[in-house]
Amino acid sequence: MPVEETGASPPPKVTEAAPPLILVGAVVGEGDAIAILIDRTDQTMVRLRQGESRSG
């Protein structure tokens, strides 16, 4: 029995949302490291020390 192709379209591509934070810079010193970021949602500057997290 011959097999017919249905011509179904491929599934839509999944587009990932842009990350909520933009890395502006990093400061690394003896025993300490800080990332400087901009929050895309409200354009505020965020400083995170090594080991810290933001929103989970």
CB 30 within 8 A of CB 50: no
Edge-to-edge strands, sheet with 21-29: 21-29, 32-39, 45-49
pTM (predicted TM-score): 0.64
- Over residues 25-34, the pLDDT tens digits come to 999 999 899 9
Q: What percent of the chain has pLDDT over 90?
A: 50
CA 1 to chain centroid: 50
Using left for φ > 0, alpha for ψ between -120 and 50, and beta otherwise, residue 54 falls in beta
Residue 15: band (very low, low, confident or very high) from pLDDT cuts 50, 70, 90: confident
Q: 2 by DSSP, 3-state: which?
A: coil
Q: For the chain, which residues make up each domain, given as ranges?
A: 18-51
CB 55 within 8 A of CB 48: no
